[in-house]
Amino acid sequence: MGAQRDSVEIAVIGSARLGPDDEVYQDAVRLGRALATEGWTVVTGGYGGLMGATSSGAAAAGGHTVGLPMSAWTHLTPHESNAEVRWAADYAERLRHLMAADVVVALPGGLGTLAEAAMVWGAAQTEPDAAQLVMVGQPWQDVRDVVGAGLIVDPADLAIARCVASVDDVVPAVRDALAHPSVSRGGRG
């Protein structure tokens, strides 16, 4: 899976636009606590919204949190719950940091979240030791279904993206991904 380190890193991607009054935000806080309770390092984009919620939950549970902020985004301040930051000069560097995680968990999000999930999915299909992907919620299941119906893929390609119903299902899915990573199918052309 990701780069060799002392701890397992679980990256969580999702919308920066949701706040504490949103149920999904509260789910992200719970998820952060659950991941930290497992002893896993929690990596997020480093800013607010679902990233900040996940990081806050992990930090509150005593977990180690890592943010991946962008140095060019001077109009944004990294979330205060990041114990460590790994600055990226550009989006490609930020994606390299993200894809070095052992597992990436996709919460609800927009185009940025979709792009990041797709990159992780594609790398898991072709690269040995790539991050595994867990997608949370019906919208992600719908995305996977559309990919299966409209693109040139097979069931093994679709199975790379593990879909779960809620954040309560994430820890078992991550455990499964760590124990049984998808097998790289090599370059697919």
Q: Is the pLDDT of residue 71 over 80?
A: yes
Strands (E), 69-177: 84-85, 103-106, 132-136, 161-164
Which of these, 177, 106, 101, lies nearest to 137 by C-alpha position? 106
Cα dist from 132 to 62, 105, 172, 173, 178, whole Å = 24, 9, 13, 10, 8
Query: Does some domain include residue 128?
Result: yes
**pLDDT value of residue 1:** 46
pLDDT digits 0-9 by tens, 27-52: 999 999 999 999 999 999 999 999 99
Query: Does some domain include residue 44?
Result: yes
Q: Is the pLDDT of residue 80 over 70?
A: yes
Which of these, 146, 123, 108, 117, lies nearest to 23 by C-alpha position? 108
CA angle 117, 73, 13 (to 5 degrees): 20
Query: Does some domain include residue 1?
Result: no
- Where residue 94 sits, what CATH number does that domain have? 3.40.50.450
Q: Name the amino acid, one letter, at 50.
A: L
Which class for 155: exposed (0-12), middle (13-18), buried (19 or more C-beta within 10 A)? exposed
Separation CA 167–CA 53 (nearest Å): 13
Tokens of 153: 């893929």
Q: Which domain holds residue 95?
A: 9-179
Query: Does some domain include residue 46?
Result: yes
Query: Does some domain include residue 96?
Result: yes
Tokens of 91: 């989006």
Which of these, 68, 82, 178, lies nearest to 134 by C-alpha position? 178
pLDDT digits 0-9 by tens, 123-171: 999 998 999 999 999 999 999 999 999 999 999 999 999 999 999 999 9
Query: Does some domain include residue 63?
Result: yes
Query: Does some domain include residue 139?
Result: yes
Q: What is the pTM of this model?
A: 0.94
Give the number of domains in the chain.
Answer: 1
Query: Does some domain include residue 186?
Result: no
Mean pLDDT computed over 81-102: 95
